[in-house]
Amino acid sequence: MPITGGVEFKPAKASCSAVVGLQWGDEGKGKAVDLLAGEHDAVARYNGGANAGHSVVVGGVRFSLHLIPSGILYPGKRAVIGNGVVVDPWKLVEEIDGLNAKGVNTSGLCVSDRAHVVMPYHKIEDGLREDLLSRGVDGKKGSGNLGTTRRGIGPAYAEKVQRGCAIRMSDLLKPAALRERIAMALEVKAGMFNPWKEGKSGAELADVSVDSLAERAERIGQRLAPMIKDTTQVLQETLAGGGRILFESANGTLLDVDHGTYPFVTGSSCVVAGVGTGTGIPPMRLGRVLGIMKAYSTRVGSGPLPTELNDDVAHRIRERGREYGTTTGRPRRVGWLDLVAVKYSTAVNGATGICITLLDVLAGLTTIRVCTGYRLADGTVTDRFIPDAGDLAMAQPVYTDLEGFGDEISGAKKLADLPRAALAYVEFVARFVGVPVDIVSVGPGREQTIMC
């Protein structure tokens, strides 16, 4: 008999949901979060930083969010930036002010006191590392950079793991400790920054000056102080009160630091397991994991994209899908849907359902190709995903050709409104991946959504 100490033990209900990207980011998670937020009491981000970019269109107005959970656009929701996020506090304030200017109430927002801070020197370091990877050492050309967003994400996560000089949100409210950490961090990085300092203007040098940084960091801390909280407790109390939480992933599974196409990945755990470490809520509280995938593939930055296209079809998809980065404005690389990759991501996340976005972008193509296998260097074909970037780069996609659909579908409200070939495409995805398609999105607006 289990020992209960006389207390009635009730197993916790799996009442929460998560939205996670199944590709290389930019799958349209913001819209999915916005759709699901209504059924939840709080929305929480658990990973990434200002590298992410979520676009949501509400009432014809486009909102671009980087750090703040998209659920903020739903009045009355608690919006939480969890401890697993790396926060650029200046970007956060910029984002809050931008939302307020558009009439969005941000009073429900709170930020974990344990979230790590992205300091200006992390961004400089990100850039210097990228430049070094391109340039190489000892006159030998480098193997190529990662194509990061240069938002300081990798260096901030590295600082967190190295400990000692890292700054957390709560440290912004402790001037003496804050100054000491900044001084230590700059001392450790002096070898990197001293050559960089040559020829820099006063304004640029302020980003590596202890006095300037300590003063700016203290000031931004004061501004954010009312929203810096123990968010694990906030979320645990939400659950204890019978509330439901929606967890919002940033970036995508194939950019996950462990499960993505390393080293061409970001610095955080994008997969749903990141919910536990990134917020303090155990993943077994998740009843629903909605995997988001585009009807085709895109990737920003370097790294393999087996189905990549560089022809008129790519141009057409890029323009129709507005495939330019929300964060950096870079044109996204475009390719056919890679179902081998999507099936892998679905398994890694334990997705209970799929949301297909941007199906409308494919309208007008005679044939739509879908990658259903990889041909390896020895000529054999596999339906297993290859997470190693070097090996994946050698794989050739094996395609299944599906019939295209000519009609525009952006006005479709239910599955029956879709042309036969569009419906067949959705069914093909569900069958191949082995998980039901719950939602099909045919445009950026909330109303351009088919609930299956």
Q: Which residues are catalytic?
A: 26, 54
Closer residue to ligand IMP (CB): 117 or 426: 117
> Which residue's C-beta sits nearest to ligand IMP?
301
25 in contact with ligand IMP (CB under 6 A): yes
52 in contact with ligand IMP (CB under 6 A): yes
Stretch that binds ligand IMP, among 23-31, 193-201, 412-420, 433-441 (CB under 6 A): 23-31
151 in contact with ligand IMP (CB under 6 A): yes
CB of 52 to ligand IMP, least distance (A): 4
154 in contact with ligand IMP (CB under 6 A): yes
Check if the beta carbon of residue 159 is closer than 8 Å to that of residue 185.
Answer: yes
301 in contact with ligand IMP (CB under 6 A): yes
Q: Of 28, 71, 108, 267, which lies in the binding site for ligand IMP, with binding defined by CB under 6 A?
A: 267
147 in contact with ligand IMP (CB under 6 A): yes
251 in contact with ligand IMP (CB under 6 A): yes
Q: Of 28, 53, 120, 304, which lies in the binding site for ligand IMP, with binding defined by CB under 6 A?
A: 53
Give the Å distances, CA to CA, from 101 to 91, 190, 218: 15, 40, 25
Written in H, E and C, the secondary structure of 179-212 is HHHHHHHHHHCHHHHHHHHCCCCHHHHHHHCHHH
**Cα–Cα distance between 201 and 198 in angstroms, integer?**
9
DSSP secondary structure string, 302-346?
Answer: SS--TTEE-SHHHHHHHHHTT-B-TTT-PBPEEE-EEHHHHHHHH
User: Pick from 252, 246, 325, 330: which is nearest to 294 by CA?
Assistant: 252
Q: Of 51, 145, 249, 279, which lies in the binding site for ligand IMP, with binding defined by CB under 6 A?
A: 51
Check if the beta carbon of residue 207 is closer than 8 Å to that of residue 126.
Answer: no
Q: Output DSSP code: residue 168.
A: B
Structure tokens at 389: 């970037």
97 CB-contact burial (10 Å; exposed 0-12 / middle 13-18 / buried 19+): exposed
65 in contact with ligand IMP (CB under 6 A): no
297 in contact with ligand IMP (CB under 6 A): no
For residue 251, give the H/E element and its range: none
Q: Of 266, 279, 345, 349, which lies in the binding site for ligand IMP, with binding defined by CB under 6 A?
A: 266
Q: Of 85, 255, 365, 370, which lies in the binding site for ligand IMP, with binding defined by CB under 6 A?
A: 255
Strand partners, 173: none
84 in contact with ligand IMP (CB under 6 A): no
Check if the beta carbon of residue 308 is closer than 8 Å to that of residue 298.
Answer: no
Closer residue to ligand IMP (CB): 26 or 438: 26
Closer residue to ligand IMP (CB): 147 or 280: 147
Residues near ligand IMP (CB under 6 A): 24-26, 51-53, 146-149, 151, 153-154, 250-251, 255, 264, 266-267, 300-301
